Amino acid sequence: MSEEETQDKKGVLYIGIDLGTSRTSVAASNGVRETVWSYVGYPKDVVSRKLLKKDRLYGKEAVQKRLSLDLYRPFEKGVIKFTPSEEAGLSKEQHDRHMKAAKDLVQYVLSLAKPRKDELLYGVIGAPAQASFQNKTHILEAAKNTLDAVMICSEPFAVAYGLEMLDDTLVIDIGAGTVDLCRMHGTMPSQEDQITLTTAGDWLDQQLFGLLKKKVPDADFSIHLIKDLKEKYAFVSDAAEPVRAELLVNGKPTVFDVTDEMRKGCRMIVPPMVQAIHKLISTFDPDFQEKLRNNVLLGGGGSQIIGLDRVLEETMTEMLGSGKVTHVEEPTYAGCNGALKMAHDMPEEYWKKLS
């Protein structure tokens, strides 16, 4: 029996993956949906291996046990971290370690989809809108040993595809590593239709860290604590409930009001986004600019910042005359849902060519 005949007899599990800097989500045609923090940890020595009783840990568990681990967050700005470069001073060994972590993470995420041993796995992976050819190649390499066939699409396109908002829509996907903007006009978007910003969630964490350090210079806290605070309380509106953080000062837990710092830090993400929105709308066909500015869709974890839609609408009204912003209903799964729908819609012949 030929390889093609064998494939014809096998069932196919279609999979959509949102490969995120902070979180990776997967949706499969068998109904499984899962999300995991994008971390992989390996025991540091024989003692930690004996303690943990595992060769590798993933997600939240890896972060919680990080003192016993060599901890990797392999996707930076949505792509494999530490591409070898003499100019950047990055070694091949560093790249290889992160590539291994990336492969292990992809394999783990796919295992969460619970594929059967007799199934072929056809997957679509969402990546940053302007990921380079080299970055996409590295993502494919991370997935090729686990998936029988794989293709990559831009993350905002996946969001729009899943919601069938493919015409006169400006999609903004706000992740940890990148903010990806893409204008949809009934065809596959070109490079000119997309903008990728790095002033995203991780960048915002650093701004908040600096603001809190300035407010309480004697306090001791980690970037992980800042990320937790942001995910619980992030807002940009004028009015909000007080935000209080328990920080260690000389080893003593002390509560501080950080409402102003949270508001100020979160508002820093707005100006670069507004500039990108203005560029994509003002360079669009004049006859369709009104439709585009009144059909802005926010996705990704950052879309949950309280008041962000209203602030963007107000700023767009000042700059462009009007603006209407809505949220996706499921920011955690909108990207992988769209990637899964795309995988379903691709002809079988196309997947066979990829495999």
pLDDT score, position 6: 44
Confidence of residue 87 (pLDDT cuts 50, 70, 90): very low
120-173 pLDDT, tens per residue? 999 999 877 666 667 777 788 888 888 999 998 888 899 999 999 999 999 999
202-230 pLDDT, tens per residue? 999 999 999 999 999 999 999 999 999 99
pTM (predicted TM-score): 0.86
Q: β-pairing, 179-185 with 194-197?
A: antiparallel
Using the predicted structure, report yes or no on whether residue 96 has a pLDDT greater than 60: yes
- Tally of CA atoms within 13 A in the half-sphere of 220 that contains its CB: 6
Contact in structure between 281 and 312 (CB atoms under 8 Å): no
Contact in structure between 163 and 344 (CB atoms under 8 Å): no
Hey, what are 176's tokens? 């940890």
Contact in structure between 137 and 173 (CB atoms under 8 Å): no
Domain 3-160+333-354 classification at class level: alpha beta
CATH number of the 201-267 domain: 3.30.420.40
Q: Pick the closest to residue 302 from 23, 19, 17, 75 (CA basis).
A: 23
- For CA atoms 119, 124, 127, 131, the dihedral sign is positive
Average pLDDT over residues 315-321: 87
Domain boundaries, the chain: 3-160+333-354, 201-267
How far is the C-alpha of 224 from the C-alpha of 157, rounded, in Å?
30
Domain 3-160+333-354 and domain 201-267, same fold? Reply is yes
